[in-house]
Amino acid sequence: MKARQLCFLLAAMIFPSLQVFADSPVTFEVVATFRGPGSSAAVANVINDLGDVGGWCPLQHSTVGGFIRLHNGHFTDPITEPDGTGATYIGGLNNTGTASGYYETDTGVAGFLYSGGAFTTISVDPVYTYVAKVNDAGNYCGSTLSGAFVSIDGTLTTFSVNRGAAGAEGINNLDQVVGGYYVDGINYGYLRDADGTLHFPYGVPGNWFTTLRDINDAGLMVGTTAGDTGTQGVVFRSPGSYALYTYPGGGATSFTGINNRGLMCGYYLDDKNDAHAFIVRMRPATGE
């Protein structure tokens, strides 16, 4: 694969993609679009309050590595699992620089935390442990083949949602967790408070798939929704108040992260099914 880095900064370009919450219309402003280092594709999964983005992209030799794109547009070295032979995926990145994710092993998938160049392996299930986001306190969430889990102050709790198979995708500094669950042929999003109280369903009427990928400290939630009209990014304020987004000129679009400054990251697919990472900002339609 020819080494190349394509980074298109699109600051101050406001596209006329008017969307409506229950109480107000909003627009989305594209801040940046980029691909991974030395790659033709990139999936952005998380954006911290500094504007650093974590995700994954194809590397040479037909493997996948994690990346961290700093807020100045520069990339750190690719992040690969300790043996350097399996695919590595970054799913979370907190404000202290600790990343989270998972990598392939000889026997399955292991979760990890990554800080200071060192991996800490997390194995909730011996075959499959998927670690998603990590907050500033080092608490994290994720999934196993059995369902969702959250680790808060060293205490691991597994849970289901509405008797459906659930996965955990995002955690904020209030230890609220978001994700998705599947029941009766439809995937919905949910919110779990730190005390275990569950709020559901989060869905878009007429769509068969909605999942939440992240939540900031103000309670804004982002994710993906899909139906007969395609796949879009979605922002929720509450179960009945949401806005949809499709990257201008792009195909299937997903929101995957949101920080406390209101910046959101995600990716869209082009006509070759390659993923392109982006950062957007949501603004009131009035410009206020």
How far is residue 203's CA from residue 240's CA, in Å, rounded to a whole number?
8
| CATH number of this structure's domain 7-284 | 2.120.10.30
Reading the chain (288 residues) residue by residue, the pLDDT tens digits are: 222 222 222 222 223 344 556 567 899 999 999 999 888 799 999 999 999 999 999 987 778 999 999 999 999 999 998 876 789 999 999 999 999 999 999 889 999 999 999 999 999 999 999 999 999 999 999 999 999 999 999 999 999 999 888 999 999 999 999 999 999 999 999 999 999 999 999 999 999 999 999 999 999 999 999 999 999 999 999 999 999 999 999 999 999 999 999 999 999 999 999 999 999 999 887 654
Going from the C-alpha of 117 to that of each of 49, 66, 77, 140, the distances in angstroms are 21, 13, 10, 19
How far is residue 167's CA from residue 9's CA, in Å, rounded to a whole number?
33
Element (H, E) at 184: none
pTM of the model: 0.91
Angle, CA 22 vertex, CA 50 and CA 262 arms, to 5°: 5
